[in-house]
Amino acid sequence: MNKPELLAPAGSFEKAKEAFIYGADAVYCGTGALSLRSRAEVNNEELAKTIEYAHSLGKKVYTTINIYAPDNVYDDIKEQVKMLDKLRVDAIIVSDGGVVDIIKEIAPNIPIHISTQANTLSSHTAKFWQKNGASRIILSREMNKNDIKNLINNIPKELETEIFIHGAICWAYSGRCYLSDFLANRNANLGDCAQSCRWAYNVYLEEKNNPGNIMPIEDDQNGTYILSSKDLCLIRRVPDIIDMGITSLKIEGRLKSEYYVASIVNVYRNAIDDYIKDPKNYDYKKYLSELNKVKTRGLTEFFFEDKNNKDYQEYEGKQYNPEYEYGAQVIEYNENKSTIKIGNKLTVGDKMEILIPNKIEVKEFTIDKMYDVETDEEIETVNPGKLDQSVKIKLPIKCKEGWMIRRKK
């Protein structure tokens, strides 16, 4: 059984660091306006730092140039490719055939991964991309498991495959959508989506011959969320996915927080490793219960089992987990008083959970005392008033820098 790569989003160096602490094998990030996540771009200096850090751990960094590019941006693309080559990036994620050609010409040693935006649905298209220089295909999210199996069985062994296993999905066909452009003047196809499909809408019925007589349909005080999709979650299907021989399992969310990245990566790291160690006893429920502590919307398996699945819309617009929130991050461990950077208001008596890398079980504890980092005086409450607000507490186990602590609300 081949162990697949676990690939995490990294909208910043700090997020990449968290992803690696919690077990990601590789991260992907955007590079300037040439990526489809222009708001989650990593500047060149940060990218260089991320790549150097990843390589020191034996891990990888992929970057995106996955816009559909008009002629007037090709000079920028050439410069970007030269810079990525110098930084020794491990692959570039691309959608457009023109960009593929430029990479082959300028930096033939950089592996090319075909973005999910290119909507590869068949072994024919996968082979086309391989002939044209691709080493990996990020499959279309609209495929089910039989489509994926069929594709893998009909492509050369050395052609790698990658699928999304967790995170937001589009109401439209994989990002081919003008809703955000139309409503917010922000173009999803240039990486600037305002996620207009998640907004609350009022829906009315108006009879054509009786203008002005407007009748609302099925909405409550929040309006209605008829366009909002649930989040993809394939934790139950990890055994199928590994058995199929998919090369890389990808988590969506370059705009998500460090806490989110750490939590989701840790769950999938454990799920993959546990299944490989002991395939007969894979029990997805313990992983799902951890994912449920951080989910932002309802979860769906989308089309993985069944293309006729209709359970992927979040009509209630549920956005936040009501029971848990980000608490703090360990800055420096000390047996008696560890320094933690807080993410939300903390008060003596709060119930907390430490996320332990490579372990699905969290360590629960209650804050019994807190100390001001500067004066060392005992305090009752601390608010995230200023940037990097820290406090000292006693931690129940030995922790390392970067470990995440969750707060039970």
Which residues of this protein are in contact with ligand SF4, per CB under 6 A? 170-172, 175, 177, 179-180, 188, 193, 195-197
Q: Whose Cβ is closer to ligand SF4: residue 193's or residue 391's?
A: 193
Q: Whose Cβ is closer to ligand SF4: residue 50's or residue 196's?
A: 196
Closest separation between CB of residue 92 and ligand SF4, Å?
A: 22
Report long-range pairs for 337-340 (Cβ below 8 Å, ≥24 apart).
337/371, 337/392, 337/393, 337/394, 338/392, 338/393, 338/394, 338/395, 338/399, 339/373, 339/390, 339/391, 339/392, 340/390, 340/391, 340/392, 340/393, 340/395, 340/405
Contact 35, 77 (CB under 8 A): no
Closest separation between CB of residue 51 and ligand SF4, Å?
A: 28
Closest separation between CB of residue 388 and ligand SF4, Å?
A: 31
Q: Whose Cβ is closer to ligand SF4: residue 196's or residue 270's?
A: 196
Q: Whose Cβ is closer to ligand SF4: residue 175's or residue 343's?
A: 175
Give the DSSP H or E segment for 135: strand 134-138
Closest separation between CB of residue 196 and ligand SF4, Å?
A: 4
Closest CA to 122 of 147, 90, 86, 94: 147
**Separation of alpha carbons 351 and 327, rounded Å:** 10
Closest separation between CB of residue 178 and ligand SF4, Å?
A: 8
**Separation of alpha carbons 407 and 201, rounded Å:** 32
Contact 233, 299 (CB under 8 A): yes
Q: Whose Cβ is closer to ligand SF4: residue 18's or residue 252's?
A: 252
Residue ranges with strand state E in 227-286: 231-233, 248-251
Closest separation between CB of residue 251 and ligand SF4, Å?
A: 16
Contact 317, 228 (CB under 8 A): yes
Q: Whose Cβ is closer to ligand SF4: residue 39's or residue 104's?
A: 39
Q: Whose Cβ is closer to ligand SF4: residue 269's or residue 297's?
A: 297
Closest separation between CB of residue 151 and ligand SF4, Å?
A: 24
Q: What share of the chain is helix, strand, coil (3-state, %, to 5)?
A: 30, 25, 45
